[in-house]
Chain A
């Protein structure tokens, strides 16, 4: 089944003309037809456009157009509904965006298309990427392919579920506090959040501009390297993208033994603060076993301290909501999206926003507006920015002695739909392991590292790397992956 292939697996078959891009795309669409009624990963998909792109790819393939310049030629990649794809809807999982059609491509989408990918589908998400369960979508609740009574994680729940269910070969998502790594962990795929500034945010609808970063969902680590290599790089249209040389991520992984890239002598930090009370015993056991595996592969395990870990969630919910309240001010019913009329502009704004935003977005806009408001700015926002410095310094200090940090991705496996939706603080606390990475601006990856026993649910291992240290992360992750089989397991759908 072509839809089950990895990018590298498909590329070999396409290059050898064993299969066509059209057959591959059709196989993904058939899979969606068969299983998406159960998991609801997609908000929409434009089949005709997808197949037309596949035909164009086949034409190029017949002319010998694959190769280094088009590493994704004929590969179906689906996109989270927060990234602009020209002439396709862009709803951010929200009603307030109305019937918005993107007038241009995000830089990452331009790059995917230039690399030959078939860019298709709008993947479900928590409204404006605010949430950890994809229950906050205005469209539908996405379900975990391993147990449809459970959440897929969030906010990129659609991306994770679609990749885990083989509805596409890979997907893009965005990660502001864990929104790629946590759903990847809960659905059992590989989720990579690059360093802040590594990937252009042009065409990504902003939630918290100083934390947001686009990243990848793939079936293995090699594909993560391939996809990152395509989407990364400086972009003059995003003034926060960093003009750093772009390494060849795939080359960092190729030419290695069946045991994976050599990681002997690399130092892995184990933060003592991450042994929190809420850490599920099966998750802990799986992560402990993974750490042991790294040791067996020659890595050196070092206990480290990130003393401000306990303050990360509070810091995050000030910084992220403050930025969100400013970013979401643009949704006012004037230039785009839905509108509810009023007698004057203020009434129009207020009614439009009251009707268009969902509960979690309203909660965060109110909190963000409050922490920025006169009299509270210093006490909340400025203080949080200072604590953010302390959190970042914790990591930079740790990286003086270790090459990467290892933690669980999420303290538990996927929870049940509705379990935390009435208690926002409990939902926020489930992000404990992923949030600091965004505050510090470093990179992180989640890879499958086991399953809970009953029900059988995926467990994710998180590796955190130095700023622009994606190569080291990918090497470590692939070395682990090549010595384990977790990533090969598929949900029964």
Chain B
């Protein structure tokens, strides 16, 4: 069974990941091989099998809705590549 062609440009756009034309070409070939390998999962009958999201199933893990110590404003901004006036600086979003 052949794996479907992967549209690298489109997937890279979804992932917000800029790729050079060389990277697109190389990744396309490598992922084709990997996807072909992955196709083997289709040999298995999984009708009626429940999916496993976590190996140790735990549901509705909650905590009390209380204020607890957390990162200070300064600590949260400390690693920002660009900041001013206590804010993260980003390119203009609305014209």
Contact = CB atoms under 8 A, between A and B. Distances in A.
A317 B35 CA distance: 10
Contacts of A390: 44, 46, 49
B1 to A, nearest CB: 11
Contacts, number: 172
A363 to B, nearest CB: 6
Contacts of B33: 425
A101 B75 CA distance: 10
B67 interface: no
A240 B27 CA distance: 34
B17 A311 contact: no
A373 B76 CA distance: 32
Nearest to A238: B61
A392 B16 contact: no
Given A210-B54, A441-B56, A365 B79 contact: no
A353 B16 contact: yes
Interface residues of B, number: 51
B40 A350 contact: no
A247 interface: no
Given A370-B6, A384-B41, A98 B81 contact: yes
A353 B78 CA distance: 20
B79 A314 contact: no
Nearest to B20: A354
B38 interface: yes
Contacts of B84: none
Given A242-B58, A334-B88, A354 B18 contact: yes
A386 B19 contact: no
Nearest to B74: A103
Contacts of B75: 103-104
B39 to A, nearest CB: 8
Interface in B42-67: 42, 44, 46, 49-56, 58, 61, 63
A199 interface: no
A240 B60 CA distance: 11
A353 B20 CA distance: 12
A350 B13 CA distance: 8
Contacts of B16: 329, 332, 346, 349-350, 353
B16 to A, nearest CB: 4
B52 A389 contact: yes
A373 B31 CA distance: 15
Contacts of A336: 79-81
A350 B49 CA distance: 38
Given A317-B34, A382-B51, A103 B41 contact: no
B17 A353 contact: yes
A388 B46 contact: no
A345 interface: yes
Contact of B27 (A329, A363, A386): A363
Contacts of A315: 41
A238 B37 CA distance: 34
A176 to B, nearest CB: 12
Contacts of B56: 195-197, 240, 242, 441, 467
A314 B11 contact: no
A240 B51 contact: no
B90 interface: yes
Contact of A383 (B6, B12, B41, B78): B41
Nearest to A390: B49
Contacts of A410: none
A342 B91 contact: yes
A369 interface: yes
Nearest to B26: A359
A77 interface: no
Nearest to A325: B15
B40 A311 contact: yes
Interface string A351-379: 10111010100110111011001001000
Contacts of B91: 341-345, 347-348
A382 B44 CA distance: 13
Contacts of B12: 366
Given A350-B17, A387-B46, A240 B58 contact: yes
Given A314-B37, A354-B19, A424-B34, 8 more contacts: A103-B75, A240-B56, A308-B44, A334-B88, A347-B91, A350-B13, A373-B11, A387-B46
28 contacts: A103-B71, A103-B78, A196-B56, A197-B55, A210-B55, A239-B61, A240-B56, A240-B58, A242-B58, A311-B44, A336-B81, A337-B79, A344-B92, A350-B13, A362-B27, A385-B52, A385-B53, A386-B46, A386-B52, A387-B41, A389-B49, A390-B44, A424-B34, A425-B30, A428-B34, A439-B55, A441-B54, A467-B55
Interface of B: 4, 6, 8, 11-20, 23, 27, 30-31, 33-35, 37-38, 40-42, 44, 46, 49-56, 58, 61, 63, 71, 75-76, 78-82, 88, 90-93
